[in-house]
Amino acid sequence: MPKVFYTLPDGTERVVAAEPGDSVMRTAIRNGVTGILGQCGGELSCATCHVFVDERHAGEFPPVSEDEDDMLDVAATDREDTSRLSCRLVLAAGQEVHVTVPEAQL
């Protein structure tokens, strides 16, 4: 089973067991991880599931698409090199992912 480690803005960590094929966003929503809103449900039209992916996972996910890139530009918290929309981060069986939730999504 995949596992996601969410570091929240206050520094605390939440560890959640995920379903393979679910995204980091959907896993957060299903488990009530605060700070990830995912309001559009993964349609790349709200920029409210922004996360910073730990550098150790560089290359584990498909690259940022043009649409994702556009939305990251207009996220509430300024983007960084490690920024992703977590609806794009689909988990494989056994995968463990560490992400940091930004200060604000709105």
Partner 1 sequence: MTTTPGTEYPFGPVPAAEAVEHFGRLIADRPMTKVTMPHGGDVWLVHRNRAAREVLSDRRFVREPFRTGERAVPFFVPFPDFLLGTLQFEDPPQHTRLRKLVQKAISPKRVREMRGSAVAFANELIDGMVARGGVRDLVREYALALPIEMLSSLLGVPSSDRETFERWSSSTLAVAGKSEEEVATDMAELAAYMTDLIARRREDPREDLLSALAHARDRDETLTDAEILPIAFILIVGGFDNTATFLSTGVLALLRSDEQRAVFLTDPDGLAATAAEEVLRHGGFATGRPAGGGGGLVPFVATEDVVVDGQLIAAGEAVSIDLVAAGHDPSVVVEPGSFDVTRTDNPHLTLSHGLHHCLGAPLARMELQVGLAELFKRLPGLKLAGEPVFNHDVLTQPMTSLPVSW
Smallest CA-to-CA distance from 5 within 47, 52, 50, 42 is with 52
Residue whose CB is less far from partner 1, 30 or 56: 30
Give the span between the Cα atoms of 84 and 41, in whole angstroms.
15
Residue 98: phi and psi, rounded to 5, are -110, 125
Closest distance of CB 99 from partner 1, Å: 18
Binding site for partner 1 (CB under 8 A): 29, 32, 34, 39-48, 67, 70-71, 73-76, 104-106
Closest distance of CB 68 from partner 1, Å: 11
Residue whose CB is less far from partner 1, 60 or 78: 78
Residue whose CB is less far from partner 1, 60 or 67: 67
Residue whose CB is less far from partner 1, 24 or 29: 29
Closest distance of CB 82 from partner 1, Å: 18
Structure tokens at 60: 């584990």
Structure tokens at 73: 């530009």
- Count other Cβ atoms within 10 Å, centred on residue 11: 7
For residue 26, give the 3-state DSSP assignment.
helix
